[in-house]
Amino acid sequence: MLVANKLAPAGARHAPAVLPNTRAGTAAAGPLVSVRNLVKRFGTAKVLDGVSLEIERGQMVAIVGRSGSGKSTLLRCMNALESIEGGELRVCGHDIGARDKLALRELRRDVGIVFQGYNLFPHLTVERNITLALTSVKKLARAEATSIAQRVLALVGLQDKAASYPEQLSGGQSQRVAIARSLALAPQLMLFDEVTSALDPELTGEVLKVMEDLSRQGMTMVLVTHEMAFARRLADVVIFMHQGRVWEMGPPEELFNRPRTAEFAQFISSGL
């Protein structure tokens, strides 16, 4: 199983704030994500067909491929938003096959996920969108939750938007708030599912810059993306999915410069 090492490019800039601390006792030896022969079906269609991979702490992993190749389904399985029919999946020490409510609650404290849709509460301020889970789920005092919200808003460059409402934000700002909301829970792993696909190029750049800064600080991230230039420049590992399988996997300079299969060569030449 190929797992690339984390290499920070020379001259990398750091984000204006530091990541929230992960919960004590969660660090462990071995890969943060381990997938073995994973199978997922929707009806009679086998969407994931024996997927195997490992993701180490601190890596940025980009999953690419055509629509329908299983990318987003794999991501959703990592957060137990989809059940699995076969194989093994362990994420942040949690067995995804165990679906009791306590296990799921613990998993989702360790794994943040951000979708294409921002899913912000329109009647709440930016700050309250972030503090809601902290006060209602983690039972933190409002003052402590507010302090965390200010810290993660600084991380995504939106300190001045704490009192704003979602309708007052651009699409890029809304997506950055969604990222901040997940970061506030101090996850070990962040999942991004096509988070820039609905944004114009300028707003896409805003969001990708936040993800780049998170990578610089060592956040483990898995992103499903069509941003090939971003994946090629910053990902530690690129995974090309095709027909529900991991078709190719490795460091971006190796995959993009020397594709091993005709399917991946065609994919990158098409500019998708």
The 10s digit of each residue's pLDDT in 165-199 is 999 999 999 999 999 999 999 999 999 999 988 88
Residue 2 covered by a domain: no
Residue 233 covered by a domain: yes
Q: Show the domain range for 82.
A: 33-120+188-269
Q: What is the pLDDT of residue 108?
A: 84
Q: What domain count does the chain have? A: 1
* Residues 260 and 247: beta-carbon distance below 8 Å: no
The 10s digit of each residue's pLDDT in 192-213 is 999 988 888 888 899 999 999 9
Give CA 86 to chain center in angstroms.
23
pLDDT under 50: residue ranges of the chain: 1-16, 22-27
Q: What is the pLDDT of residue 211?
A: 92
Residue 85 covered by a domain: yes
Q: What is the pLDDT of residue 105?
A: 81
Q: What is the pLDDT of residue 156?
A: 93
Give CA 105 to chain center in angstroms.
18
Could you identify the residue written with the tokens 């190929």? 2
Could you identify the residue written with the tokens 């969604």? 178
Q: What is the pLDDT of residue 203?
A: 87
State the chain's mean pLDDT as an integer: 87
Looking at residue 88, which CATH number applies to its domain? 3.40.50.300
Q: How many other C-beta atoms lie within 10 A of the C-beta of residue 197? A: 12
